[in-house]
């Protein structure tokens, strides 16, 4: 099953033009983002990729299927929004990006290139609403994890777009069985407190469920109106019985506010979804429907 089909099932019944999707957590955010961007573009969608924190420059990663990257200092979060010159400059930059939107194409926008770090700096999240009408989907990396498989958000994390329609909380399943330590978990002490464990303890599926459901956990700062999807990456590393056990831990727990749990492998070029489980949407949201 395609990852896109799962995402659209959460945004259904009528995904709106300009849907804003925020990727948070660890263990595959960037891979999930580019995989989804490519699948959406293959369906003819107009796609914009951006970030509110920092992301590795896709030029050093084979281009990631992008048509191009625009680096516009006018989009920086610390730009003086009050001056008339800044307002005019920003509007011209917005027009430039809106004009780039094209069916079947994926473009990227950042506010600064950091060659010494090999990264791109993010944009002001308040600009996303102004960009949304030109694109079908805006995919936003809104968190950092130092390339570790799992994390607990810090006090100022994630940098959540206030207008996000869907938040995708990512975890790498290669964390299972490894100790809660600095080389496995970003902010490992905070993670231990959050999931009710001790540092050094082996990470279990129950810990991942606790992370996903804690108020200050995986979906910290998600807008109340946003839907929520748990993305369990590297599911191909687990045996069928082990994966079923992990999904069973989610299924047997109260998942209020989480719409869908998806076990994926983004190393694959197709059929990236290996298994999924329905969650319990927030009051007023329809249940997720999908076709297997």
Residue 109 resides in a domain: no
User: Which residue from 94, 161, 80 is spatially nearest to 126, judged by alpha carbons?
Assistant: 161
User: Where does the pLDDT of residue 255 fall: very low under 50, low under 70, confident under 90, or very high at 90 and above?
Assistant: confident
Examine residue 198 and state whether it is found in any structural domain, yes or no. yes
What is the number of domains present in the chain?
1
Q: Does residue 112 fall inside a structural domain?
A: no
* Cα–Cα distance measured from residue 220 to residue 154, given in angstroms and rounded to the nearest whole number: 10
User: In this structure, is residue 255 part of a structural domain?
Assistant: yes
Looking at the whole model, is its pTM more than 0.85? yes
* b/e code 101-139 from CB counts within 10 Å (16+ = b): beeebbbbbbbebeeeeebbbbbbbebbeebbebbbbbb
- What's the rounded mean pLDDT across residues 72-100? 83
CATH of the domain at 12: 3.40.50
Asked if residue 143 is part of any domain, the answer here is yes
Is residue 86 in some structural domain? no
pLDDT digits (tens, 9 = 90+) for 131-172: 999 999 999 999 988 899 999 999 999 999 999 999 999 999
Which one, of 136, 134, 49, lies nearest residue 96 by Cα? Answer: 134
| pLDDT above 60 (res 95) | yes
Q: Which domain holds residue 203?
A: 3-53+133-280
* pLDDT for 291: 47
């Amino acid at each position: 099953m395609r990852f896109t089909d799962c995402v659209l099932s959460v945004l259904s019944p009528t995904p709106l033009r300009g849907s804003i999707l925020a990727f948070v957590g660890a263990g595959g955010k960037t891979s999930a983002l580019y995989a989804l961007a490519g699948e959406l573009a293959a369906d003819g969608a107009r796609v914009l990729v951006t970030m509110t924190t920092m992301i590795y420059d896709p030029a050093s990663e084979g281009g990631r299927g992008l048509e191009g990257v625009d680096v516009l200092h006018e989009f920086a979060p610390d730009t003086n929004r009050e001056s008339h010159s800044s307002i005019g400059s920003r509007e011209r930059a917005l027009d430039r990006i809106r004009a780039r939107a094209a069916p079947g194409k994926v473009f990227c926008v950042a506010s600064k290139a950091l060659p010494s770090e090999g990264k791109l700096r993010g944009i002001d999240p308040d600009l996303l609403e102004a960009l949304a009408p030109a694109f079908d989907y805006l995919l936003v990396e809104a968190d950092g994890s130092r390339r570790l498989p799992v994390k607990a958000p810090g006090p100022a994390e994630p940098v959540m777009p206030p207008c996000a329609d869907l938040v995708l909380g990512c975890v790498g399943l290669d964390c299972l069985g490894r100790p809660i330590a600095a080389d496995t978990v970003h902010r490992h002490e905070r993670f231990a407190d959050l999931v009710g464990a001790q540092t050094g303890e082996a990470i279990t599926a129950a810990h991942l469920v606790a992370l996903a459901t804690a108020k200050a956990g995986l979906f910290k700062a998600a807008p109340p109106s946003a839907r929520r999807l748990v993305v369990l990456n590297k599911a191909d590393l687990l045996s069928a019985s082990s994966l079923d056990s992990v999904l069973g831990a989610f299924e047997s727990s109260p998942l209020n506010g989480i719409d869908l749990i998806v076990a994926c492998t983004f190393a694959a070029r197709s059929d990236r979804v290996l298994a999924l489980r329905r969650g319990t949407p927030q009051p007023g949201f329809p249940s997720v429907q999908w076709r297997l």
